Amino acid sequence: METPPWRDRLRTEDELLEQLEAQAEAARRRRAHALKDGVGELGSVYALAKNLGLSWTAVAHAIKKYTTE
C-alpha cells in the first residue's frame, strides 16, 4: 500500500485537528453550563469547587469564560 502524498496527509490531519478543536470547545461550554447549574444547586462557586476538589478560581473562570457570549 502506497502512502498518500504529504500534502494530502497534512490536509487530512489539519481537518481532523479543526474538528477536534470544535468538539473540545463545545465540551468546554457544556461543562461550564453544568458548573453553573452546580453553583445554583449548591449555592456558591466556593461550595461547588470544594465539592469537586477544584479551586474556586478555576470554577469561576470556566463559568465566566464559557457561559458569557
Tell me the average pLDDT of the chain. 97
Each residue's pLDDT tens digit, 18-51: 999 999 999 999 999 999 999 999 999 999 999 9
pTM comes to: 0.84
Grid cell of 9 as nine digits: 496527509
pLDDT (0 to 100) of residue 59: 98
Q: Is residue 1 very low, low, confident or very high in pLDDT (cuts 50, 70, 90)?
A: confident
pLDDT bin (cut points 50, 70, 90) of residue 68 is confident
| DSSP one-letter string for 27-62 | HHHHHHHHHHHHHHHHSSHHHHHHHHT--HHHHHHH
Using alpha carbons, select from 43, 47, 37 the residue that is nearest to residue 67.
37
Which is more confidently placed, 17 or 69? 17
